Structure 1
Amino acid sequence: MENVRPREEHEGWLPTAEPGLWQQVVEQLGTAVAVTDPAGRITEINPAAERLLGRRAAAVRGKDIHDLCHRDPQSARIPREHCPLLRALAEGRPARGDDDRFLRGDGWPVPISWSVSPLTDGDVLRGMVVLIAENTKDHGPRQGHAERPERTKQAESTKQAERAARTSALEGLTERLTLVAAITGVLGQTLEVDEAVARLGRLLVPRLADWAAVDLRVDPDQVHRVAVTGPEGRAAGQEDWHGHLPPAGSASRSPLVRVLHGGGSVLQDRTDMDAPLDSPLAAVHGAFLAATGAVSALTVPLGAGRQVTGALTLVRTDPARPFDSDDLDLVSDIGRRVGPVIDNARRFGRQRAVAEAMQNNLLSPLPRHGRVQLAARYRPAPAGSQVGGDWYDAFTLRDGALALVIGDVVGHDLTAAAGMAQLRGVLRSLAWDHTGPTGAVVDRLDHALHAITTVSMATLVLARLEGPDNGPWTLRWTSAGHPPPLLLTPDGNAQYLEAGQGLLLGAHPDGAEQRPNAAHALPPGSTLLLYTDGLFEIPGGDLDTGLGRLRRHALALAHEPLETLCDRLSARMPPGSTDDIALLALRLPVP
């Protein structure tokens, strides 16, 4: 249970949110670029656009691009309902125009060609990028001279070819900028290495390449090929293309080895690939290029300078479409951006593994209790790597009953974890030789809470399973503000045991009435689930909806082995969850 749940979310790509991309790529372009928001208002223009339109960026930000600039070939206003720019934005699709006018700041209409592409974040339209090129038109024959028809046709054909070339170049540039924006945004939404490289492959193939391979450095001399993406998203079917690769000896002249040791990006054609292979790693990589039918390949570092996380290799197989220097610059920029994302994800994974191991070490192993099956899971919050206050416990009491505990201490940090460990120890001591109602044990714990622990508030369920090895069994419990246990029975029913609810620990005033107790007969073969709120709660969501979803999921898994049920149930964290999960499951035998 968390008192504060900070969450960082990717807000989508815009130049004002990515100054590095804007300054390094867009500002250096000779082509005019404007970016708008979803309503068509200008958010930024580059220096080339300022020169072409005769307007300063500060003067046009927030202005409607259609109302401010767009005119028809006769320099008249275009009705908004007929504007192809606005129509493309409304439909979220690319578009282009070859014979338009934009109005300069001095009132002079400029003949232009334009290309527009939407900027999206998942399914959300964030705006559009507009690339603009001036149309230098032939204004006709000189006065007093008649132009021959064949020359007129030839001039018109030349102008059409020039317009087509300009439009094609604009579309290519738009596509490149959109690709960089998409990769920056999509990869920024995950902290899982495998998911990050899978998304990268899906974005690059077939959009930019026919094959993509990602190699990550495990240590200075060890490389691991973590992903290979091919046509239609298929891997190549060669298992030896994945996994640990031979050592990357620094003496090799292989492009992959050079990149992994801090060298620059490399563009290879077929002749380069036929060069002698001078190391085991070069041989493996050469076999990969040969098997994919590569005629052109790019290998670029993931990261920059000394912070090289690995290498990205892209392959094209069409001789008519080899990579060029523009592709090399684009993919190098992608590699510089992807490297830190993957490096952060790897660090997060290591921190999360340490946190999970630390939390599990604070939790006791489950006891053996006759034929009763027990299973438990702990999963840290998906958006954090700190230990927290969620815990489970099970232990045999002095009178032979089985104690079951699930709890959640306020907070999500080392203090909460330490408080959880204190609370668990005190509760074990108080419950071990107590044969009376569970509510009396929790009352005593509540009275001692502030005196002998650092816990300010917590929720928990304390239950006793009573009965001989072959049954019948009775569950007796009390709840201190915790979500109710969920009982799954062999007849296909699932019910929340909502009785026995009292105030959470730390909120029970002195002199208050004793905590309520509850009891319920458990049929043979039934399954009991105790859990914390991370299993069903979404920040800002409805609790009843979350509990209903958990009930349906658990019921669908009721006939699975208990370990499988716990694995699959704990893996189905609700989307948007920011809390830890603790889960304790019990299954009774069938006589």
Structure 2
Amino acid sequence: MRAVFDSLGAGVFVIDLTGRLTTANPRARHLLGRSGDELLGSDMHDLLHREPDGGTVPRGRCRVLSVLDDGQPNEGSDEFLLRGDGSLLPIIWAATPLRHDGATEGAVVVFHDFSLHRDTAEQTAAHLAALEELTARLSMVAEVSTDLISTMDTSDMLNRLAGLLVPDMGDWAAIDVRTPGQTGELRRVAVHAPGDHAAARSLRGPLPPLPEASRSSVARALRGAQPVVLDAAALAEPPRTPLDAAHRELFERLGGTSAVVVPLHTRRQVFGALTVARTAPGSSYSEAELLVLADLARRAGLVMEGAELFEQQRHVAETMQRQLLTPLPQVGDLRMAARYWPAQSAAEIGGDWYDSFLLGDGVLTMVIGDVVGHDLKAAAHMAEVRNMLRALAWDRTEPPSLIMRRLDEAMTHTSDAPMATCVFGRVEGQEGGPWQLHWVNAGHPPPLLITADGHTRFLEDGHGPLLGISSALHMGLGWPNAHAELPPRSTLLLYTDGLVESRTRDIEAGLATLRRHAAALARRDIEEFLDELLARIGPSGDDVALLALRIPPERAAGEPSRQHAYSPAAADRGAPGASVKDTPVRDTSEPEQPGETTR
């Protein structure tokens, strides 16, 4: 038995009823780094048992001694023994009462070095904690990214970004951006400080210009496109420029012992700077946190660049369309009006147009069309198709079907414009009426005729293929001529599909809605008719073009007309058809009344 005791691969020692060591095997002496003389006769608890920090364990909490008190086995893996060299040995252990003739005479303790297992467990816990932190960071990045791309409103996006960074990345956040078109001008557009909303609001607004030689944190971030870390020493430096003072005011009002200033940038330019700060004493930012903030700032910069490019494209497309929305001619007592409703998104601005002009034989034309596509290229193609139609039609007295065939051939052989839809009509009649519409329809929604008593019908005749198909594919298709009587005081409405179709409503439902509202507005003035129609339908998504003609009442023979002829001077007195964002464009040759503003 002595050989077994001495050869065990585990440490074993025996204590008597008072807790004194009576024997210890060689493995125990080796693990503890102590000699037999040092161990035997010593109180086990006082000599060996320690807290994880090296402090003494109260005797009443000693789980090994509890075996002597209650006679029940005990075990554990969270105890430490003091080695001879002063280091601590983490152990996994088991203690069992030592019985002889039915009486407890002490306890036997068996233990192993638990250092390797404990280190592995601690490493695993550290890895799990790091993984949880990384997961939390990735979740925040994903949430921020979702919010960044959910709006094209830059101010709204930056306010959301500042709010999402608090409190995970700091106790407050502020964002300064360059003012578009003004070099060096800065403006603080967002401040998020949960504990002081009044201070946050008061800190927003214009900032002093960026000095050329400034070495402030904001200046360095804007020029170097790299994060700038501010510690307590940097925050204690006195401001040297008005911009430094404005940035320091953030810390004076909101507090802060450490901060990071990160540029909002892309490869091409820097749009502004994000400041995130912590107020707890001794706080700082880790390398991983700096990388996260830099990545989020870069994403915000990409969104800002995209918004800027979209706005530029929208402006160019709207400018092009404004130039094409010419004043409408007025012939006799015929009344015309038009509207252009820009798309809400720059990506949706495209090829919708309306047109009306006098032909060489004095006949009035009405045109509505839509070139396939929703981008700046579509707007350019729209201008090309519109001008080709004008050139082909103005000096010819031939039926609309031949004009449409010529336009289809011209698009195929002289232009790279894609397919387009179009309604081309001639309004014919004597000065006192009656009036007729002669038209063809190249794949466009049908014109709507509304009588004075509110009866409506779609003019569904004259349908043919889209422009850009028949001649290109040598299909030999044509467009049948159609004609319809235009009753006195009736309204003829031409429109593009953006009025009746959207992502949330199919075209059949949209046509029914248009018909219902148009009937209810039949007796309104033609200008009010279009304004109210747009207000009631509220088109969204695609851009919309409208062209309306009001037929005058019957007039007795010889009764003079209120306006006998079309003249460029009279047309020039009307609104130029300029488009205004989110507001329908009025296009009419009626002179403005004093104090009236044409929209």
Establish whether TM, by shorter chain, passes 0.5: yes
CA distance in 2, matches of 1:377, 1:569: 12
Q: 1:552 to 1:268 in 2, by over 3 A?
A: farther
Q: 1:456 to 1:143 in 2, by over 3 A?
A: closer
Q: CA deviation at 1:483?
A: 1.9
Match among 241, 246, 264 for residue 204 of structure 2? 241
1:342-421 mapped onto 2 (5 Å cutoff):
342-358=304-320, 360-361=322-323, 363-367=324-328, 369=330, 372-377=336-341, 379=343, 382-383=346-347, 389-397=351-359, 402-410=364-372, 420-421=382-383
1:419-458 mapped onto 2 (5 Å cutoff):
420-432=382-394, 438-439=400-401, 441-443=403-405, 445-446=407-408, 450=412, 457-458=419-420
Question: Is residue 409–residue 419 contact of structure 1 (8 Å, CA) maintained in 2?
Answer: yes
Partner of 1:572: 540
1:71-90 mapped onto 2 (5 Å cutoff):
none
Gap runs ≥5 in structure 1: 1-110, 112-137, 149-159, 575-580
CA distance in 2, matches of 1:293, 1:235: 14
Question: Is residue 215–residue 224 contact of structure 1 (8 Å, CA) maintained in 2?
Answer: yes
Q: 1:380 to 1:175 in 2, by over 3 A?
A: closer
Q: CA deviation at 1:177?
A: 2.0
Question: Is residue 214–residue 310 contact of structure 1 (8 Å, CA) maintained in 2?
Answer: yes
Partner of 1:197: 158
Question: Is residue 462–residue 478 contact of structure 1 (8 Å, CA) maintained in 2?
Answer: yes
Give 3-state SS (helix, strand or coil) of 2:144's partner.
Answer: helix
Match among 531, 547, 551 for residue 496 of structure 2? 531
| Aligned-partner residue type, residue 93 of structure 2 | P
Q: 1:305 to 1:515 in 2, by over 3 A?
A: closer
1:73-112 mapped onto 2 (5 Å cutoff):
none
Give 3-state SS (helix, strand or coil) of 1:514's partner.
Answer: coil
CA distance in 1, matches of 2:207, 2:309: 22
Partner of 1:180: 141
Q: 1:267 to 1:161 in 2, by over 3 A?
A: same
Give 3-state SS (helix, strand or coil) of 1:261's partner.
Answer: helix
CA distance in 2, matches of 1:426, 1:532: 22
TM-score for both structures, normalised by structure 1: 0.55
| Aligned-partner residue type, residue 514 of structure 1 | P
Counting aligned pairs with the same residue, the percent is 39
Question: Is residue 359–residue 388 contact of structure 1 (8 Å, CA) maintained in 2?
Answer: no
Q: CA deviation at 1:476?
A: 5.2
Question: Is residue 554–residue 569 contact of structure 1 (8 Å, CA) maintained in 2?
Answer: no
Structure possessing the higher radius of gyration over alpha carbons: 2
Tell me if 1:279 matches 2:241: yes
Question: Is residue 442–residue 465 contact of structure 2 (8 Å, CA) maintained in 1?
Answer: yes
Question: Deviation per CA, 1:401-427, whole angstroms, max 9, x where unpaired?
Answer: 643212234567888666544432342
TM-score for both structures, normalised by structure 2: 0.55
Partner of 1:514: 480
CA distance in 1, matches of 2:485, 2:172: 62
CA distance in 2, matches of 1:205, 1:554: 52
Give 3-state SS (helix, strand or coil) of 2:244's partner.
Answer: helix
Q: 1:409 to 1:337 in 2, by over 3 A?
A: closer
Q: 1:420 to 1:337 in 2, by over 3 A?
A: closer
Partner of 1:62: none
Question: Is residue 434–residue 486 contact of structure 2 (8 Å, CA) maintained in 1?
Answer: no
| Aligned-partner residue type, residue 137 of structure 2 | R
Partner of 2:562: none
Question: Deviation per CA, 1:79-137, whole angstroms, max 9, x where unpaired?
Answer: xxxxxxxxxxxxxxxxxxxxxxxxxxxxxxxx9xxxxxxxxxxxxxxxxxxxxxxxxxx
Q: 1:561 to 1:383 in 2, by over 3 A?
A: same
CA distance in 1, matches of 2:510, 2:282: 52
CA distance in 2, matches of 1:495, 1:314: 63
Partner of 1:141: 93
Q: 1:375 to 1:408 in 2, by over 3 A?
A: closer
Partner of 1:584: 546
Question: Is residue 439–residue 481 contact of structure 2 (8 Å, CA) maintained in 1?
Answer: no
